[in-house]
Amino acid sequence: MGRYPPVAPPPRTDNEVVGAAAVVVAAPFAVGSLHEYVTLCGSLVAYPVSTLVCWAMSARRRKGEDLI
């Protein structure tokens, strides 16, 4: 596509490793009680759906069009 070679992703940092470990440790406790928070569950579903809809609209857009 472009003239530049692909760039390698940066190496993993300690923060990413600690964050991943925290998710794995907390998941068994969080998943079972998540159904008690209806508003939070709605937000956790609505945001990714909104992201996918916006992405799909952008992907279908023709390059020459200006939406503004």
**Residues near 40 by beta carbon (within 8 Å), at least 6 away in sequence:** 34
As a whole number of angstroms, the distance between CA 41 and CA 43 comes to: 5
For position 52, what pLDDT does the model report?
Answer: 93
pLDDT beneath 70: ranges in the chain = 1-2, 62-68
> pLDDT digits over 40-57, tens only?
888 888 999 999 999 888
**Residues near 41 by beta carbon (within 8 Å), at least 6 away in sequence:** 34, 35
For position 8, what pLDDT does the model report?
Answer: 77
Give me the amino acid identity at 67: L
As a whole number of angstroms, the distance between CA 64 and CA 62 comes to: 6
For position 66, what pLDDT does the model report?
Answer: 59
As a whole number of angstroms, the distance between CA 58 and CA 51 comes to: 11
For position 68, what pLDDT does the model report?
Answer: 55
pTM: 0.43
For position 50, what pLDDT does the model report?
Answer: 94
